[in-house]
Amino acid sequence: MKLEFGYGTGKQTVNCPAENLLAVLTANEIEHKRTGEEAVRYALAHPIGTKPLKKLVVPGQKIAIVTSDVSRPMPSYAVLPAVLDELFSAGVKAEDVTVVFAIGSHRKETEEEMRRLVGDSVFETVKCVDSDPEDTVHMGKTEAGTPVDITRVVAEADFRIALGNIEFHYFAGYSGGAKALMPGVSTPKAIERNHRMMVDPDAVAGKLHRNPIREDIEEAGRIIGLDFIVNVVLDEHKHIVYCVAGDKIEAHRDGCAYLDRMYRKTIPEKADIVLVSQGGAPKDANLYQTQKALENAKYAVRDGGSVILIGACPEGLGSRVFEEWLTSASSPEELTKWIRKEFVLGGHKAAAIGLVMQKAKVYLVSEMDPEFVKSIFFIPASSAEEAFQAAMKEYGPEAKVIAMPYGGATLPSVQA
């Protein structure tokens, strides 16, 4: 059976005997009643756990709308017009609204990037700014000790709205909800304090209950005072197929349940070999981004099995700190020791890779130099087919295989 995986702007193919293939994990086929802006306007008209937005705001209030920066797939340009219509219909003035891009620990954005994210009309109607980790207000501290230091324009707003897309997150459980504020518009110190709990066994993708990172995020949201959310679920092509609006917990949970229906995949058992890709460009531009596919693949591979990670990575590793950690460590085990000792942004993804490597062998099919790939603990391969044949030779003719062509989106779980 011929399997195809996105690889940069092209593809990699693998010929896998049908009898060895346990599953090909793609999105579940469900009917989407509304898509795009129609889904957004419907959600705003039918909020979950709150009154409609236009009945919650008051003219004269300073309103902060927090949305994702250029590093996220959130289609703010398709959501913000409907949100602004709600606000303006309630008498809110454009000069009282600020759109704040949650840059977290990322770089500042250019004006052109901001305009592209929100669309020309929104950009020219309301003020649009990046969050500023150098200008924050201390609003308290969570039980876990995370300082709730929030960018001033959000902290001093009278009403706060968080936009975002909901997808599986490898240690916060899911993105979306209060995550727009913590870590979105917080400080590196606060982010590191929150993220250091990533080594907790309950800090995993698809888990909300007793996930210490998600609980910390939502406690921060309560301290800040997050008044309303608008979250979307996207398909593999980044189109809106579902939207929720309203309460920061109730609406978020509804969106998470919809994501589960689409992308949580039941498998009969874990496989000897897992073939996984991010789906090609731009999601496999570097290893820092491609790591997301590896993270989900770990739930499909048995202990002692092999993951074949397929990602072109034309930009290399993609993060200076990430590279420093991978190139300085003497073993995958050392990476996890470092993160337990001190959480460092960028290093956390290196540690996540180290955790997978302690469970399974990891092949990497990429454009990077094979010797360099080997030096960062992966097994280099020139093609997915080459890696697959090597793994089949190791596990034998009855090896069980799972394919994940959109590994960053699909979350496997073993059938109960």
Report whether pLDDT(416) > 80: no
- Name the domain boundary from 209, 226, 243: 226
**Rounded Cα–Cα distance for residues 206 and 298 (Å):** 13
175 in the same domain as 299: no
Contact 89, 53 (CB under 8 A): no
129 in the same domain as 214: yes
268 in the same domain as 208: no
- Name the domain boundary from 169, 201, 226: 226
Per-residue confidence (pLDDT) for residue 119, from 0 to 100: 95
Residue type, 125: T
- Could you read off the pLDDT of 103-113 as tens digits, one per residue? 877 778 888 89
Contact 64, 153 (CB under 8 A): yes
Give the mean pLDDT of 109-131: 94
Q: What is the DSSP string of 120-132?
A: HHHHHHSEEEE--
- Could you read off the pLDDT of 204-217 as tens digits, one per residue? 999 999 999 999 99
Find the domain containing 197 and state its range.
57-226
Range from 3-7, 293-297, 412-416 carrying the lowest mean pLDDT = 412-416
- 314: closest CA among 296, 350, 288? 288
199 in the same domain as 96: yes
Count of CA atoms in the C-beta half-sphere (13 A) of 85: 12
Percent of the chain surpassing pLDDT 90: 88
- Per-residue pLDDT band for 282 (boundaries 50, 70, 90) equals confident
List the helix and strand counts (H, then E) for the chain.
14, 20
Q: What is the CATH number of the domain that holds 23?
A: 3.90.226.30
Report whether pLDDT(170) > 90: no
Q: What is the CATH number of the domain that holds 73?
A: 3.40.50.11440
Residue type, 220: A
Report whether pLDDT(71) > 90: no
Per-residue confidence (pLDDT) for residue 295, from 0 to 100: 94
9 in the same domain as 66: no
Give the mean pLDDT of 42-67: 98
According to DSSP, the β-strands at 147-151 and 136-141 are antiparallel
Question: Is 359 contained in some domain?
Answer: yes
Per-residue confidence (pLDDT) for residue 72, from 0 to 100: 77
Q: What is the DSSP string of 215-261?
A: HHHHHHHHHHT--EEEEEEE-TTS-EEEEEEE-TTHHHHHHHHHHHH
Give the mean pLDDT of 12-26: 97
Per-residue confidence (pLDDT) for residue 236, from 0 to 100: 80
Report whether pLDDT(338) > 90: yes
341 in the same domain as 199: no
Question: Is 406 contained in some domain?
Answer: yes
Per-residue confidence (pLDDT) for residue 397, from 0 to 100: 96
65 in the same domain as 24: no
For residue 60, what is the DSSP state?
T
305 in the same domain as 210: no
- Per-residue pLDDT band for 115 (boundaries 50, 70, 90) equals very high
- Name the domain boundary from 171, 203, 226: 226
Per-residue confidence (pLDDT) for residue 232, from 0 to 100: 98
Give the sign of the dihedral formed by CA 345, CA 340, CA 373, CA 369. positive
Range from 156-170, 258-272, 331-345, 380-394 carrying the lowest mean pLDDT = 331-345
- 7: closest CA among 202, 344, 290, 362? 290
Per-residue confidence (pLDDT) for residue 219, from 0 to 100: 98
Q: Measure CA 116 to chain center.
A: 20
291 in the same domain as 168: no
**Rounded Cα–Cα distance for residues 377 and 48 (Å):** 47
Number of structural domains (the chain) is: 2
Average pLDDT over the chain, rounded to an integer: 95
Other CB atoms within 10 Å distance of the CB of residue 19: 10
Per-residue confidence (pLDDT) for residue 103, from 0 to 100: 86
Report whether pLDDT(153) > 90: yes
Percent of the chain surpassing pLDDT 70: 100
Question: Is 238 contained in some domain?
Answer: no
183 in the same domain as 100: yes
- 140: closest CA among 248, 221, 226? 221
Question: Is 233 contained in some domain?
Answer: no
Axis-axis angle for helices 320-328, 332-341 (nearest 10): 120
**Rounded Cα–Cα distance for residues 285 and 16 (Å):** 26
For residue 78, what is the DSSP state?
H
Q: How far apart are the first and last CA of the chain?
A: 28
Q: What is the DSSP string of 81-136?
A: HHHHHHHHHTT--GGGEEEEEE-TTSPPPPHHHHHHHH-HHHHHHSEEEE--TTSE
Question: Is 10 contained in some domain?
Answer: yes
- 367: closest CA among 300, 284, 251? 284
Question: Is 378 contained in some domain?
Answer: yes
62 in the same domain as 18: no
- Per-residue pLDDT band for 283 (boundaries 50, 70, 90) equals confident
Per-residue confidence (pLDDT) for residue 107, from 0 to 100: 78
Residue 291 phi/psi, 5-degree rounding, is -55, -30
- Could you read off the pLDDT of 350-386 as tens digits, one per residue? 999 999 999 999 999 999 999 999 999 999 999 999 9
364 in the same domain as 308: yes
